[in-house]
């Protein structure tokens, strides 16, 4: 009887070992199938291949505390974790069966990783790490490349791990120059694209460069991570970041107060306004919205803020900019009507139609973009260039803004370029018309000079300083950065000065008319 029991136990042990071997052999065969899929272009979708590998690793039985499998382009690791988990550090330099030709990488998991899962039901957990040494399975429409073509992923059982107070650290070492590139840590956001099974997103990740050969990603969730490299032809010198930020904050704050004061003064006047005044007030409102959203854009770009909030603010900021540019163009169009058509400028429901264009067209463009490609908005990384080239402690700066280069080129630079060009043409037309008026002596010289000064003052109203954005190259870069920041952050304040000048001028004209009327009555 004892011999039979021993034989039975040996049979059970052999069967279990055979089952465990078969389980991880099945995972290895699936990895080789994925490798062949990159060569033969199989019809099976990438998400099915990756989900199939995850499922096999989570169900695989193995002896000991961990399991490591690898092919030429995929490496997988599985770990048995308990609720007494104290943290885990993985480094490719210490892992077995890692090719020396591959670049070094590492992942560090905090002790908080299993806390939420063990709080509901204490049990043994399975942590799987999947490293892809190719970007073939994560293709999308973003015009960018991945650092080393590496994608490092991790998953804790079937749990959704996010909003960790202590981040997961993912390190990518490299031996290439990143000069001229914007480097951004991203994760694969499944279901965020209609053309592909996911899209790269920076939500919940912070990018650091501790050294010229290392990119460190600090993320508060588990997923597939990579470093996105996008061409950045105009980096901002890191030493100028502090003064430019200070100028922007002070200038925008002054403009907010000035625009708000202008609108309040207009409302307090309690008199029927003409179409010109209505256009001015709408421009002030768009500038006020633009400055307020810009001041909030850097605060909501912090990793602790949900990505959806940053996306919404980025869309509002884009809308405010488009509205501001549109109202500048409307100012130019109205000036053209005043100069060319003079008295014959009656248009039925003129102000209502202008408001439909000034506020409606930007809203239509932004809503259309949100419906077609919402990933175009989010955390935008401002490229910094380190003149000392040591890279130590250099961190990327982010704001909530347009992330798509194509959208930025068309709906920011293109839209602004057309607006600036139109208003510059109108301004040149106005100066030419007043010059002819003075040459023919149809009005006193002082009046012509005053009109010339008025039109020169309209250069602010028409937003011609925004054309400085197209001089951010070569020797013009540093002067352009400061001039653009100073003039456009104080744009609301300049409009306030114009409003005050116009108000004083109108009051002086009324007073002169009253004096002329009184003198005529006494004669």
8 Å CB contact between 390 and 210: no
Q: What is the pLDDT of residue 203?
A: 84
8 Å CB contact between 458 and 335: yes
Q: Give the list of residues 6+ apart from residue 357 with CB closer than 8 angstroms, or none.
A: 326, 330
Q: What is the pLDDT of residue 369?
A: 92
Q: How far apart are CA 343 and CA 128, in angstroms?
A: 76
319 in a structural domain: yes
Tell me the C-alpha to C-alpha distance, in Å, between residue 52 and each of 58, 80, 131, 144: 10, 20, 15, 28
Domain coverage including residue 464: 240-383+397-510
- Same domain as 156, residue 274: no
505 in a structural domain: yes
336 in a structural domain: yes
CB atoms near residue 187 (< 10 Å): 23
CB atoms near residue 128 (< 10 Å): 21
Q: How far apart are CA 22 and CA 518, in angstroms?
A: 108
8 Å CB contact between 486 and 468: no
- Same domain as 294, residue 360: yes
Closest CA to 258 of 214, 225, 290, 222: 290
List per-block mean pLDDT (blocks of 10 residues) for the chain, which spans 523 residues.
49 43 72 80 74 87 84 90 90 65 85 87 87 86 80 91 91 84 86 72 87 91 91 68 89 94 81 76 94 92 81 94 93 81 68 93 95 84 60 63 85 90 84 70 54 61 73 68 86 86 65 44 44
9 in a structural domain: no
Tell me the C-alpha to C-alpha distance, in Å, between residue 70 and each of 73, 78, 110: 8, 12, 25
Domains identified in the chain, total number: 2
315 in a structural domain: yes
Q: Give the list of residues 6+ apart from residue 85 with CB closer than 8 angstroms, or none.
A: 111, 113, 114, 125
Point out the domain boundary residue: 209, 231, 253: 231
Q: Give the list of residues 6+ apart from residue 82 with CB closer than 8 angstroms, or none.
A: 114, 124, 125
- Same domain as 246, residue 210: no
- Same domain as 280, residue 153: no
Q: How far apart are CA 423 and CA 416, in angstroms?
A: 11
Closest CA to 180 of 340, 316, 383, 391: 383
- Same domain as 311, residue 183: no
Structure tokens at 188: 């694969």
- Same domain as 246, residue 187: no
Q: How far apart are CA 381 and CA 397, in angstroms?
A: 6
20: region left, alpha or beta (phi > 0 left; psi from -120 to 50 alpha): alpha
- Same domain as 334, residue 221: no
- Same domain as 256, residue 125: no
Point out the domain boundary residue: 173, 203, 231: 231
Q: What is the pLDDT of residue 513?
A: 43
Q: What is the pLDDT of residue 291?
A: 95
Q: How far apart are CA 192 and CA 377, in angstroms?
A: 12
Give me the half-sphere count of Cα atoms (radius 13 Å) on the Cβ side of residue 515.
Answer: 6
Residue 105 three-state SS = strand
- Same domain as 268, residue 146: no
> Quick one: three-class SS letters along 229-279?
EEECCCCEEHHHHHHHHHHHHHHHHHHHHHHHHHHHHHHHHCCCCCHHHHH
- Same domain as 187, residue 327: no
Q: What is the pLDDT of residue 75?
A: 92
272 in a structural domain: yes
Q: How far apart are CA 343 and CA 341, in angstroms?
A: 6
> Quick one: three-class SS letters along 381-439?
EECEECCCCCCCCEECEEEEEECCHHHHHHHHHHHHHHHHHHHHHHHHHHHHHHHHHHH
391 in a structural domain: no
146 in a structural domain: yes
CB atoms near residue 267 (< 10 Å): 9
Here the CATH number for the domain that contains residue 269 is: 1.20.1070.10
- Same domain as 260, residue 176: no
Here the CATH number for the domain that contains residue 31 is: 2.60.220.50
Point out the domain boundary residue: 171, 206, 231: 231
- Same domain as 213, residue 251: no
Closest CA to 467 of 476, 475, 246: 476
The H or E element spanning position 106 is strand 105-109
């Amino acid at each position: 009887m004892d011999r039979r029991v021993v034989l039975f136990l040996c049979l059970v042990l052999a069967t279990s070992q055979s089952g465990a071997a078969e389980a991880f052999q099945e995972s290895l065969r699936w990895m080789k199938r994925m490798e062949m899929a990159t060569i033969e272009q199989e019809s099976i979708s990438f998400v099915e291949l990756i989900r199939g590998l995850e499922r096999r690793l989570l169900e695989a039985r193995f002896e000991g505390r961990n399991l490591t499998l690898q092919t030429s382009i995929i490496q997988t690791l599985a770990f048995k974790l308990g609720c007494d988990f104290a943290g885990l550090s993985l480094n490719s330099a210490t892992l077995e069966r890692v090719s020396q030709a591959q670049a070094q990488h590492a992942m560090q998991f905090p002790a908080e990783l299993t806390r939420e899962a063990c709080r509901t039901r204490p049990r043994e957990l399975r942590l799987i790490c999947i490293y892809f040494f190719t970007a073939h399975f994560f293709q999308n429409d973003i015009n960018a490349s991945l650092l080393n073509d590496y994608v490092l992923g991790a998953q804790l059982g079937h749990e959704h791990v996010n909003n960790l107070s202590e981040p997961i650290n993912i390190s990518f070492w490299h031996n290439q120059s990143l000069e001229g590139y914007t480097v951004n840590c991203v994760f694969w956001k499944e279901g965020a694209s209609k053309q592909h099974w996911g899209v790269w997103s920076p939500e919940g990740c912070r990018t650091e460069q501790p050294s010229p050969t290392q990119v460190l990603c600090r993320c508060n969730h588990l997923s597939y991570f990579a470093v996105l490299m996008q061409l950045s032809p105009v980096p901002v010198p890191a030493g100028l970041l502090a003064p430019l930020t200070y100028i922007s904050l002070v200038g925008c704050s002054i403009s907010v107060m000035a625009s708000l004061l202008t609108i309040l003064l207009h409302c307090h006047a309690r008199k029927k306004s003409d179409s010109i005044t209505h256009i001015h007030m709408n421009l002030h409102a768009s500038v006020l919205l633009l400055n307020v959203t810009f001041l909030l854009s850097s605060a909501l770009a912090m990793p602790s803020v949900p990505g959806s909030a940053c996306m919404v603010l980025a869309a509002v900021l884009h809308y405010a900019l488009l509205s501001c540019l549109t109202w500048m163009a409307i100012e130019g169009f109205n000036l053209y009507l005043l100069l060319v058509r003079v008295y014959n400028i009656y248009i039925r429901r003129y102000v209502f139609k202008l408001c439909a264009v000034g506020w409606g067209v930007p809203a239509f463009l932004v809503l259309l973009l949100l419906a077609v490609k919402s990933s175009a908005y989010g955390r935008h990384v401002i490229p910094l260039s380190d003149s000392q080239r040591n890279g130590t402690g250099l961190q990327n700066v982010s704001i909530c803004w347009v992330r798509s280069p194509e959208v930025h080129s068309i709906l920011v630079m293109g839209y602004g370029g057309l607006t600036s060009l139109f208003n510059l043409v109108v301004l040149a037309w106005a100066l030419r018309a007043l010059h002819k008026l003075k040459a023919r002596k149809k009005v006193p010289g002082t009046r012509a000079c005053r009109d010339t000064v008025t039109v020169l003052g309209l250069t602010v109203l028409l937003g011609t300083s925004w054309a400085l954005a197209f001089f951010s190259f070569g020797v013009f870069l540093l002067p352009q950065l400061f001039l653009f920041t100073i003039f456009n952050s104080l744009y609301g304040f300049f409009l306030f000065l114009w409003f005050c000048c116009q108000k004083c001028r109108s009051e002086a004209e009324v007073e002169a008319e009253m004096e002329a009327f009184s003198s005529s009555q006494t004669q």
